[in-house]
Amino acid sequence: MSTQLTQQSIGHRITELRKLKGLSQEELAKSLNISRSSLTQIELGNRSVDVLELQKLALTLKFSLDDFMSDDFTAFKELDNNAIVKSKKSKERISTPKLNVDKFKNILLYILSQCAGKPNVGETVLYKLLYFSDFNYYELYEEHFTGATYRKLPYGPVPQNIDSVINQMIYEGQLKRVKTDFHSYPQTRYLPLLKADLTQLKASEKEVMDRVIEHMSDWSATAISNYSHKDMPWVASKEGEVIDYELAFYRDTPYSVRNYTEDTEEQ
């Protein structure tokens, strides 16, 4: 393509058009006959688009190549109001997680069975271990793990409704809550009173959790919170809003857990 546009600019324009058209990355990738990870790399500006792919994009997203390559391109010009409304509805449908309470309880029990004895593992560290397990699994397998919803709160991503789940587990004798001090700071800890039912977990799910636990369970609350605040899903979200799992595909090193280079080479 003879153009002065950077790969990043092209990727950004494709992303805008895809979202306004109401298509998921998976749907658009199928129409182009490429993998979803390849499309992710295009949208990030890490992979170029050849002429044939650009023609397919123009047909699928219904834009003019001349307008697309112009300096004053605006995605909103390419679509009517009906398409914009459709996009909003489609986005809500595509990646809305749904909490699996029984599975969530077993995941809590498993994580705590592996690291509850460590003095640094209070609520803050536990919540971040859950967050990275959820988002790492979604990036790797494009499926929800616990189905928990996370919001961007001042001290980091926190799974919603976790207090009610934990209170229920305490009432049922599955967990014990302990108040302690750690380095002169008050700390809330949880001790598992039952073993996790591993039959509810896939081998791939346990593997993702084990990697997160091995990597981060020794970190202090401050260290793991600071680390989570530089993860793309957190950075790209507004204060107080739900963190979109789709943002996991926009991660960069060292947060990304998927080898996109290999995915691209397969095409």
C-alpha Rg value of the chain to the nearest Å: 21
Domain with CATH 1.10.260.40 in the chain: 7-94
7-94, CATH topology level: 434 Repressor (Amino-terminal Domain) (1.10.260)
How far apart, in whole angstroms, are the C-alpha atoms of residue 133 and residue 210? 9
- Quote the pTM value: 0.70
- Token pair listed for 225: 């919170």
How far apart, in whole angstroms, are the C-alpha atoms of residue 176 and residue 166? 9
How far apart, in whole angstroms, are the C-alpha atoms of residue 36 and residue 27? 8
Q: pLDDT tier at 92 (50, 70, 90 boundaries)?
A: very low
Nearest alpha-carbon partner for 95 in 136, 43, 138? 138
How far apart, in whole angstroms, are the C-alpha atoms of residue 181 and residue 189? 10
Per-residue pLDDT tens over the stretch 125-181:
999 999 999 999 999 998 999 999 999 988 789 898 899 999 999 999 999 999 999
User: Is the C-alpha dihedral spanning 256, 236, 187, 205 positive or negative?
Assistant: negative
Share of the chain above pLDDT 70, in %: 87
User: Is the C-alpha dihedral spanning 20, 131, 203, 40 positive or negative?
Assistant: positive
- Token pair listed for 214: 């091995």
How far apart, in whole angstroms, are the C-alpha atoms of residue 243 and residue 239? 10
**pLDDT of 81 higher than 80:** no
How far apart, in whole angstroms, are the C-alpha atoms of residue 39 and residue 54? 12
Mean of the pLDDT values across residues 188-215? Answer: 95
Q: Are 108 and 44 in contact (CB under 8 A)?
A: no
Report whether the peptide linkage leading into residue 157 is cis, meaning its omega lies within 30 degrees of zero.
no
pLDDT at 31: 85
pLDDT at 102: 92
- Token pair listed for 75: 């995605």
Q: pLDDT tier at 204 (50, 70, 90 boundaries)?
A: very high
Q: Are 208 and 136 in contact (CB under 8 A)?
A: yes
Angle at 75 between CA 71 and CA 77, to 5 degrees: 95
Provide the residue count of the chain: 267
- Token pair listed for 35: 């993998």
How far apart, in whole angstroms, are the C-alpha atoms of residue 96 and residue 245? 8
Q: How many CB atoms are closer than 10 A to CB 229?
A: 14
Largest CA distance in the chain: 67
